[in-house]
């Protein structure tokens, strides 16, 4: 199991105050003014260097980040659980592929969690992602096994959850971390601030890792704030990677080019057609964004 560095890590930031876990315990502090001048904001998940100033403690430096998200505002994420229901609401595979691609684009491992599998079959999840390289967990019919695997994955990692309203994300989190709400209330009391007055991220220790509680953030929030360049999109579909050097043309977009190894794999059933169709849709969207930026 990998070791996750927790010392001098920002666990929460709100109203200009930051709650930092240190070797001697939690510390509430502010950030030096230099960050504001540089247009940089410390984020939950950041590893920081602290200094004493004016009788208090300040964040003096932010150590190099592995990655960061604008929404939800979190840094150094290792793993993202993408939660979707088999029914009510029905899964939107384009949205799921977008969330997984955003994670992979930032060096984060995505894991799909299918909920309500006791109400409707999860066969579509298993079929679409069987060759994708993305792990799928089934919560509902065999929830104990899914929760056990989630605990294994959280160990040694900084993790977050995303999922649209109604998919059962809150229920899943409550079963995985039954003490989360009580711990949340306790920390908010220490900070002296209301927890639900902002959309800030808060980190909690769990199973040897850290879990980011991200209230109020949906898949749409993530998509709008974390754009993938069209030339990077092919690397966000793990099943494409072994084929990328087999295309006839360098810089193949895997859409209409001759002798494209990716298209051939789709025809041979090695890549699920729904995944490929979603890639094409995402590519067109990324192209439109780039053209808009150039012409805007």
Interior CA angle at 133 toward 268 and 271, to 5°? 15
Rounded CA-CA distance 62/87 in Å is: 43
Q: Is residue 153 part of a domain?
A: yes
Q: Tens digits of per-residue pLDDT, 258-272?
A: 999 999 999 999 999
Q: Is residue 114 part of a domain?
A: yes
- Identify which of 146, 142, 86, 91 has the alpha carbon closest to the alpha carbon of residue 119: 86
Rounded CA-CA distance 17/197 in Å is: 14
Q: Is residue 3 part of a domain?
A: no
pLDDT, position 34: 82
251: annotated binding-site residue?
A: no
Rounded CA-CA distance 127/275 in Å is: 11
197: annotated binding-site residue?
A: no
115: annotated binding-site residue?
A: yes
254: annotated binding-site residue?
A: yes
171: annotated binding-site residue?
A: yes
pLDDT, position 181: 54
Q: Tens digits of per-residue pLDDT, 164-194?
A: 888 888 889 889 988 765 444 444 444 443 3
259: annotated binding-site residue?
A: no
Are 273 and 138 found together in one domain?
Answer: no
CA trace torsion 244, 271, 112, 284 (10° rounding): 70
CB-side neighbour CA atoms (13 Å) of 131: 15
Q: How many domains does the chain have?
A: 3
252: annotated binding-site residue?
A: yes
232: annotated binding-site residue?
A: no
100: annotated binding-site residue?
A: no
168: annotated binding-site residue?
A: yes
250: annotated binding-site residue?
A: no
Q: Tens digits of per-residue pLDDT, 55-95?
A: 889 999 999 999 998 878 899 999 999 999 999 999 999 99
Are 203 and 248 found together in one domain?
Answer: no
290: annotated binding-site residue?
A: no
CA trace torsion 203, 88, 150, 125 (10° rounding): -130
- Identify which of 39, 73, 29 has the alpha carbon closest to the alpha carbon of residue 214: 73
Final residue before a domain boundary, out of 172, 205, 222: 222
- Does the pLDDT of residue 252 top 80, yes or no? yes
- Identify which of 78, 79, 50, 75 has the alpha carbon closest to the alpha carbon of residue 65: 75
Q: Is residue 155 part of a domain?
A: yes
219: annotated binding-site residue?
A: no
- Residue located via tokens 């300040």: 58
83: annotated binding-site residue?
A: no
Rounded CA-CA distance 116/142 in Å is: 10
pLDDT, position 290: 56
| 8 A C-beta contact, residue 209 and residue 157 | yes
169: annotated binding-site residue?
A: yes
Are 152 and 247 found together in one domain?
Answer: no
247: annotated binding-site residue?
A: yes
Domain with 28, as residue range(s), is 9-64
């Amino acid at each position: 199991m990998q070791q996750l560095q927790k010392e001098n890590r920002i666990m929460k930031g709100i109203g200009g105050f930051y709650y930092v876990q240190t070797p001697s315990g939690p510390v509430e502090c502010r950030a030096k003014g230099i960050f504001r001048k540089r247009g940089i904001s410390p984020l939950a998940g950041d590893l920081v260097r602290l200094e004493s100033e004016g009788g208090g403690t300040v964040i003096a430096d932010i150590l190099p980040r592995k990655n960061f998200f604008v929404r939800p505002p979190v840094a150094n994420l290792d793993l993202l659980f993408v939660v979707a229901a088999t029914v009510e609401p029905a899964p939107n595979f384009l949205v799921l592929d977008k969330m997984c691609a955003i994670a992979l684009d930032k060096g984060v491992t995505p894991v799909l969690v299918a909920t309500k599998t006791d109400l409707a079959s999860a066969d579509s999840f298993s079929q679409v992602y069987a060759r994708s390289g993305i792990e799928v967990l089934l919560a509902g019919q065999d929830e104990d096994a899914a929760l056990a695997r989630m605990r294994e994955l959280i160990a040694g990692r900084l993790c977050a959850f995303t999922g649209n309203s109604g998919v059962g994300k809150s229920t899943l989190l409550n079963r995985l971390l039954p003490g989360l709400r009580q711990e949340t209330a306790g920390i908010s009391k220490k900070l002296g601030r209301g927890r639900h007055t902002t959309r800030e991220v808060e980190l909690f220790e769990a199973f040897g890792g850290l879990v980011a509680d991200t209230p109020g953030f949906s898949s749409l929030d993530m998509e709008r704030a974390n754009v993938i360049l069209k030339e990077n999109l092919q690397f966000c579909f793990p099943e494409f990677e072994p084929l990328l050097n087999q295309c006839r043309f360098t810089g193949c977009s895997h859409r209409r080019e001759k002798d494209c190894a990716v298209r051939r794999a789709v025809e041979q059933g090695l890549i699920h057609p729904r995944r490929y169709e979603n890639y094409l849709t995402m590519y067109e969207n990324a192209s439109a964004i780039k053209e808009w930026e150039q012409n805007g």
